[in-house]
Amino acid sequence: MDLLIEGYLDYLGVERGLAANTLESYGRDLRQFAVYIKLRRVTSWAELDRNHILNYLDGLKKQGKSTATVSRSLASIRSFFRFLHHEGKLELDPASELDSPKVEKKLPSVLSLQQVESLLYRPDAVSPGGLRDRAMFEVLYATGIRVTELVTLNLADVNLDAGFIRCLGKGNKERIVPLGSVAIKAVVAYFNSGRPKLVRSREMRSLFVNHHGRQLTRQGFWKLLKKYARESGIDANITPHTLRHSFATHLLENGADLRAVQEMLGHADISTTQIYTHVTKSRLREVYDKAHPRA
């Protein structure tokens, strides 16, 4: 049973090119399900029926797991059994007719323009680390790329003369995103006065490095972000995705085309990008309620 899970994860990684974080999520969901099944003396995936899956999902709900978590677990299980059926490992797919629970979409957390300004100018832009942090925040807000895409940028991915960066998104899909003049200026300052003092080897190709001269990690970036947010007096529950959300929302608020924002964010489906139109509407309502004398 475990070997079939590992074979499926290999298929997702090699054949479909899914990102490491996505593979980790699939693997965690399926291994937890496998533990549950083995405790019920099931020794083969072929022995399962839909009731095993329904009982497992019901158990997750009773444990207090969110609807999103239950829905994601079902998606992982359903995809796994579809794979086994397609590969001839299962005669029948026990998950084929199971519907996912409806997940209420929460509006993403977005910073105001004033909060973004406060955050972007918080790094001292004098020390090597400060220059790096200013450049990272400027690039993130200027492009809306994911944090994983940011920390995996290489020197060859940045074209300052043409004003764009090249990044690899989900599924190893490459896209080109424009870089604004302020972000370019911050990256140039980091190139000239910050990065040379941080790198330990000329062979290092990563754009953003830590104080040990190695590629900065997502966790390292998150720690920096929370530190600067706290120093900036931002009380919102800020995450590495917050600047991405703010980038998209501020573009749409200022008249950007939804398709263009979709392309810059790297969304495969425009319905994913449309969540930001709801954010802008809710923000307009908030402004109206505060400003109009008869609101």
Residue of 50, 89, 166, 170 marked active site: 170
Residue of 31, 82, 85, 267 marked active site: 267
The distance in angstroms from the start CA to the end CA of the chain is 61
Residue of 52, 244, 245, 250 marked active site: 244
Q: Which residue's structure tokens are 């995103």? A: 177
Catalytic site includes residue 52:
no
Residue of 72, 132, 146, 195 marked active site: 146
Task: Please give the full DSSP string across 67-102, using - where no structure is assigned.
Answer: HHHHHHHHHHHHHHHHHHHHTTS-SS-TTTTPPPPP
Output the pLDDT for position 154: 95
Write down the architecture of domain 113-239 according to CATH.
Answer: Orthogonal Bundle (1.10)
Catalytic site includes residue 245:
no
Output the pLDDT for position 257: 86
> Is residue 165 classed as helix, strand or coil in its secondary structure?
strand
Can you give the residue ranges of every domain in the chain?
Answer: 2-86, 113-239
Q: What does the pLDDT profile of the chain (295 residues) look like in tens digits? A: 889 999 999 988 887 878 788 889 999 999 999 999 999 888 888 888 889 999 999 999 999 888 888 888 999 999 999 999 988 888 888 888 787 666 556 667 888 889 999 999 999 989 999 999 999 999 999 998 989 999 999 999 999 999 999 988 777 788 999 999 999 999 999 999 999 999 989 899 999 999 999 999 999 999 999 999 999 998 777 887 888 889 888 888 888 888 888 888 888 788 778 877 776 666 666 655 776 566 5
Q: Is the distance from CB of 95 to CB of 33 less than 8 angstroms? A: no
Q: What is the distance of C-alpha 1 from the center of its chain? A: 30
Catalytic site includes residue 211:
no
Catalytic site includes residue 244:
yes
Q: Judge residue 173's burial from the number of C-beta atoms within 10 Å of its C-beta, 0-12 exposed, 13-18 middle, 19 or more buried.
A: exposed
Residue of 38, 40, 241, 285 marked active site: 241
Catalytic site includes residue 227:
no
CATH number of 2-86: 1.10.150.130
Neighbours of 31 (CB within 10 A): 14
φ, ψ of residue 271 in degrees (nearest 5): -65, -30
Biggest alpha carbon–alpha carbon distance for the chain: 69
215 forms beta bridges with 209
